[in-house]
């Protein structure tokens, strides 16, 4: 074990438990310097959006508090990463830098440059895997290429065996972390929080940080895990794990979730509980698949994987339609409820995400990239791999995508998955007095029903901005034209 310090460069791995970079540094160095470097320009064109910056502020605060429990604190810097690391090495005498890998194209390029430069200058530089169950390059088809269909990809993951990691934090010896080894900027100087308090509702829904991640997981396993497979499509119920922002920021790792799920499966003998939690692990598989696709097809955040979509007849530059969708003013209740949930909480139920994405790309024929950009700025769990895969899947232009003719009918989806209107009434209070029979499609309701519920279409609530049946047919016609083109 060397007497020289090691720098642990935190990024989106904001936890102490199951942190391979931290563990490696602790195993090889008597002292470590925990560092966060804010360099959003190096992630362009996908620097964190507004909702992600809100989360980052509170997650860094939580990590700093955890480190202070060990007599240290997080060293915060703002500037170009390589130059900042060189300064920190000079200030602290560190001879090694450890970090956990990221997999977006811009961060891969930046990290490669950092590793090569540090090693050339005589500083050990080591990267580790904290974010995924499997490295994106470690799973290949029989022909040696990347997977483009989820089911065989997930079967390959299961054949290898899902890796697990326990919850326990490795012991950090006293005086290992250096509390004053380097000057730290104040977190508030990073400018992460909004100047206009549009984030007022976020605190009611989220607890960023490692403790919040574990609280969320335990609450899910205790109250919804056994029913997850049955209830996960019901947006009016608290039936999903809501772990996605915690996973994105690395406050909990997928190996830890596998471990916790396996332990609960072993302890829970209720019928269906084991299979239900397998469904949650399968969702982790979709996250792995998304990162697999982004790594092998790095152009997909901006360009469809299916090249025929370069010739698709999108209705570009229709600012009014896009604004109505963004603000939850389309006149389609399930779409509007989802978009308002997103604005007020920074999150949206997955079933509703598919519905609003289908409505934008198929009923409105607006480009999927417009939706992906809005989600990127407004989701607290905005993740480039997941966001890209989700939008391309719903649009029908990605790997293992939904068929082009699958157009989600938001009225049928609403009646099926929110039959009692709990979700709609929560986010559309102006429609709360409508009976269930009229709530899902108020434009179809008789005038006396609307009047009794004090709903005036076009005033209290907008009329639909498109007719669903006609817009569906228009989408099918547009898709049919590119379907006959060579891929």
Query: Which residues are catalytic, by number?
Result: 283, 286, 314, 350, 368, 391
Tokens of residue 198, six digits: 């549009």
- The verdict on whether residue 381 carries a ligand-binding annotation is yes
- The verdict on whether residue 241 carries a ligand-binding annotation is yes
**Nearest-angstrom CA–CA distance, 403 and 393:** 9
- The verdict on whether residue 244 carries a ligand-binding annotation is yes
φ, ψ (nearest 5 deg) of residue 43:
-100, 5
**Nearest-angstrom CA–CA distance, 298 and 389:** 12
* CA dihedral (59, 390, 364, 299) positive or negative: positive
Q: HSE-up of 286 (CA within 13 Å, CB side)?
A: 16
- The verdict on whether residue 383 carries a ligand-binding annotation is yes
- The verdict on whether residue 170 carries a ligand-binding annotation is no
Beta strands 96-100 and 124-128: pairing type?
A: parallel
Contact 202, 380 (CB under 8 A): yes
Question: Cα–Cα–Cα angle for 293, 145, 485, nearest 5°?
Answer: 70
Question: Cα–Cα–Cα angle for 352, 354, 357, nearest 5°?
Answer: 105
- The verdict on whether residue 103 carries a ligand-binding annotation is no
The CA radius of gyration of the chain, in Å to the nearest whole number, is: 24
Cα dist. 294→256, 320, 384, 473 in Å? 23, 31, 8, 32
- The verdict on whether residue 240 carries a ligand-binding annotation is yes
**Which residues participate in the annotated binding site?**
228, 240-244, 381-383
Annotated binding site for FAD: 228, 240-244, 381-383
């Amino acid at each position: 074990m060397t007497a020289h310090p090691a720098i642990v460069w935190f990024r989106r791995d904001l936890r102490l438990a199951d942190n391979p970079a931290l563990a490696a540094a602790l195993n090889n160095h008597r002292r470590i310097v925990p560092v966060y470097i804010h360099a959003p320009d190096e992630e362009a064109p996908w620097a964190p959006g507004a909702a992600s910056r809100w989360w980052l502020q509170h997650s860094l605060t939580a990590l700093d508090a955890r480190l202070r429990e060990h007599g240290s604190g997080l060293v915060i810097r703002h500037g170009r990463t390589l130059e900042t690391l060189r300064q920190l090495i000079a200030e602290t005498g560190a001879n090694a830098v450890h970090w956990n890998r990221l997999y977006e194209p811009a961060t891969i390029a930046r990290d490669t440059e950092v590793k090569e430069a540090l090693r050339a200058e005589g500083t050990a530089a080591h990267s580790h895997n904290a974010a995924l169950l499997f490295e994106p390059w470690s799973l290949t088809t029989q022909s040696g290429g990347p997977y483009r269909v989820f089911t065989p990809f997930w079967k390959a993951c299961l054949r290898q065996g899902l890796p697990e990691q326990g919850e326990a934090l490795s012991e950090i010896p006293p005086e290992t972390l250096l509390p004053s080894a380097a000057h730290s900027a104040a977190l508030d100087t990073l400018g992460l929080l909004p100047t206009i308090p549009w984030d007022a509702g976020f605190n009611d829904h989220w607890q960023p940080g490692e403790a919040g991640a574990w609280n969320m997981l335990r609450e899910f396993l205790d109250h919804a895990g056994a029913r997850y497979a049955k209830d996960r499509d019901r947006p009016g119920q608290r039936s999903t794990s809501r772990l996605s922002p915690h996973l994105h920021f690395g406050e909990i790792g997928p190996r830890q979730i596998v471990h916790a799920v396996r332990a609960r499966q072993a302890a829970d003998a209720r019928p269906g509980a084991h299979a239900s939690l397998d469904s949650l692990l399968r969702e982790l598989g979709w996250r792995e698949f998304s990162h697999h696709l982004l790594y092998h097809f790095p152009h997909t955040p901006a360009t469809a994987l299916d090249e025929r979509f370069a010739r698709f007849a999108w209705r570009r530059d229709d600012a009014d339609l896009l604004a109505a969708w963004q603000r939850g003013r389309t006149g389609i209740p399930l779409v509007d409820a989802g978009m308002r949930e997103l604005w007020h909480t920074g999150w949206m139920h997955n079933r509703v995400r598919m519905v609003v994405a289908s409505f934008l790309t198929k009923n409105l024929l607006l480009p999927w990239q417009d939706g992906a950009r809005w989600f990127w700025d407004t989701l607290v769990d905005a993740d480039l791999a997941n966001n890209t895969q989700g939008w391309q899947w719903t649009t029908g232009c990605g790997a293992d995508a939904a068929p082009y003719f699958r157009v989600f009918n938001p009225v049928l989806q609403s009646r099926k998955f929110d039959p009692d209107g709990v979700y709609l009434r929560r986010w559309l209070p102006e429609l709360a007095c409508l009976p269930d029979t009229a709530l899902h499609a108020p434009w179809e309701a008789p005038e006396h029903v609307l009047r009794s519920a004090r709903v005036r279409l076009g005033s209290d609530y907008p009329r639909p901005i498109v007719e669903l049946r006609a817009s569906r047919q228009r989408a099918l016609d547009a898709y049919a034209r590119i379907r006959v083109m060579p891929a």
